[in-house]
Structure 1
Amino acid sequence: MRAIDKRLGAVGLALLLMAGLSAPALAQASTEIDFGDDSSEWANDGECDDPRFAGSAMASELLDTDIGRDATDCRAAFEAGSISLAESTTAATTANDDIDFGDDSSEWAKDGECDDPRFAGSAMASELLDADIGRDATDCRAAFEAGTITLVGDSDPAMIGDIDFGDDSSEWAKDLECDDPRFVGSGMASQLEDINIMHDASDCRQAFEDGTITLAGDDAAPAAPAANTASAGMLEQIAARIDFGDDSSTWANDGECDDPDFTGPGVAGETLDADRLHDASDCRAAFLAGTAFLKSVNDLGGFFNYGSDSSEWANDGQCDDWRFTGPGMAKKLEGGDVMADASDCRALEASGEISIKPVFTADYALGAPYDSSGVYFGDNSSSYADDNICDDPRFEGPGVATTLLDSDLEHDAADCKTLFEAGQITLR
């Protein structure tokens, strides 16, 4: 049973006098504390339910879910001198100035639990995803200040905000290895090229936060190279993955690329569908020279199928299709709602509240083949092995089965490896 009766008057005055602080001084100090909001079910009941504080005006039972959720009660009690920041909270408040908590873009942000796997403690969510690193700032900051979570791992969080990780334009981006040669450590790819400097941001940020890589040194952090300074060896490797076709076009070997699948200054001003895959020598030479580039799927007419509004949750203002991610997502998702909540998901994506998970976008497969050497696929002992669908629940993507069983984890190796390399699935 929660204590409801509070006697703030005489006790608060006595504590105020004992503290030797005037009410205006305490009021001024309170402006430096983020009390949060009044979303707790116990808000405005005359006692403070936020476990970051301690004192006579505190509730007898405290829950981590009320961190930052009882602002009015806690502010009043703090200014009355009947509560103060807990000792561990005061120390943590100073320490957290050095931590980049990130933002609140996680779909689980502001739910009263910290979902960022860089931390550990009683206020952590029971299930953690690497995708939430740096994405649950409010919850994690409040819990850290309350002393209910601490940092884990070997990385220095103070440095993260000072590093420009760049973007994910490398062909090796999001393959679970850092390909940026500014870093060193066990999370690095075995072969590194300068072309990938600042172009493998997601992998390198995650590995840095996990403590598996560090900066190689101040002299090993050169500025990002221009796109046309890629080494010939790297372009040769990329070109080897492209089917340029043959030279049967009327315009073959005329010094410019006539294949309509390419764009750039080395491509003819007018191209014909009939010349697709029929100007190989010209297009290959222009590609190696950096004057021709493959178009994206969107440029080629590809599209994303949002589906229909057949879900029972359609048009409720939340996206229920698990192909998306972001704060506009419903918290409980079911396979039956995939491609069945089109209007909600389309509107939320347009407003920036959600985004399509990369593996479900039309152009993800263009990056194939993906390097699977760092992934352990297991064996083929699943009863669903060799059916050309991945049944391993560690993966997601259009090539993954609709119904997934824990018993198939690491037991559908051949299917999952083939689909991973083809860009049809990726690790969750």
Structure 2
Amino acid sequence: MTTKNKLWGCAAASLILASGLVTPAWADKITREGASPLDPAEISAPGSASEIDFGDDSGEWTNDGECDDPRFSGEGAADELVEADRMKDATDCRAALEAGTITFTGDAEATTLVAPEIDFGDDTSEWANDGECDDPRFAGPGAAEELVGADLLKDATDCRAAYEAGTVTYTGDQTPIDSSAPGAFDYGGDTSAWAKDGECDDPRFTGYGMAKKLLSEDSYADATDCRTLEAEGKVSIRTVYTPEYAAGAPYDSDGVEFGDNSSSFANDDTCDDPRFEGPGAAALLLEGDRLRDANDCRVAYEAGTVMLIESERG
């Protein structure tokens, strides 16, 4: 081989290596011609989008801008990842991987949670072995909608399975307040279209675990999410909705300016002034009713069913 041809061959090989277009035959030829053997890891980077089977978009949470496939991790992944979404959120996960907001952690099954220190009790509950955890010490999408103290430590099989699957979290051994008891906070049920999605959609709550868009129709309708997130410290009940606030009535209204009764909705027993919030406020509040529903809002304020919103408090 002439010097000129040898130099050209090395240059061509370098270009091919740099472009990543190396086939096994080329690699073998380059080695036999005296070049250094190629490291297979340099030929194709593991975890690249072209090598991953992303599956399809058949998951419940597909195309929501977050990767829900538990084989990935990173800021672009959903906070809660479950095995049911494995290979079922292709579009979101491919986009996030290409954007560099997630990494591929592998095809291995997710590690099963174990709870060696939790006493799950027995299966003497009326609702034992029905596929839902009825023990009120647990919360999450795998828990029953209605939890009562009578089922404490009495649904072991269901709760252990749900805990190990990651669909419930253990909130502690304290006996919970029965939401049906007088003076207890009523979480409602899971009738919202957004129930059990990992975000609290009930506008009676506040905190960073809340959904971005809150609708009045979701009040009392996202119990599992809101109860779980409250136990985790990610949401809290707005003060005016707490049983303690209602129990503190009557409240002195002397320092509050209520305006007049010129609203077309005045004297309908509901506070329509948008400066107030609470169970005694109208579901739809209009800026045009500011300071124009004095009687209704005064009565509700003194009864502890509304209070001034944060921006209006002195």
Q: Could you tell me the TM-score, scaled by structure 1's length?
A: 0.30
